[in-house]
Amino acid sequence: MLFYDLKEKWRLLMTKPIDITDKSFDQDVKASSQPVLVDFWADWCMPCKMIAPIVEELADEYEGRINFGKMDIDNNPQIPAEFGIRSIPTLLIFKDGIAVDQIVGAVPKGTLQKRLNAVLES
């Protein structure tokens, strides 16, 4: 029981991706002084659920260097349409408000780390 309590407390302390909406996109992504990874997802999408814990881990690991957000495409159709999101999960990485990389599908954590590091080094 003690282990579970400690594990739950640690989970609550971890940095989590913020919820981004059509209305908050400009402020949360375009105006960000740091790169931003946006996870376009939907509740019914199994691959989205597979990659979600990885995105949360990366949000914690890259805290202070890259911001992380999630956008539910069912509740926010405008921005996904603007970026031509046709498959989910799709992860877009923005730098200086511009999409600089796109990852489609549930990929391994190492793949995402390589792509994030490339954005940080550019």
Active site positions, annotated: 45, 48
The single-letter code of the amino acid at 105 is: G
Strand, helix or coil for residue 29: helix
- For the chain, the maximum distance between any two Cα atoms, rounded to a whole number of angstroms, is 48
Find out whether 31 and 69 touch, Cβ atoms under 8 Å.
Answer: no
Return the ∠ at Cα 50 (arms to 46 and 56), rounded to 5°: 130
Residue 95 DSSP code: E
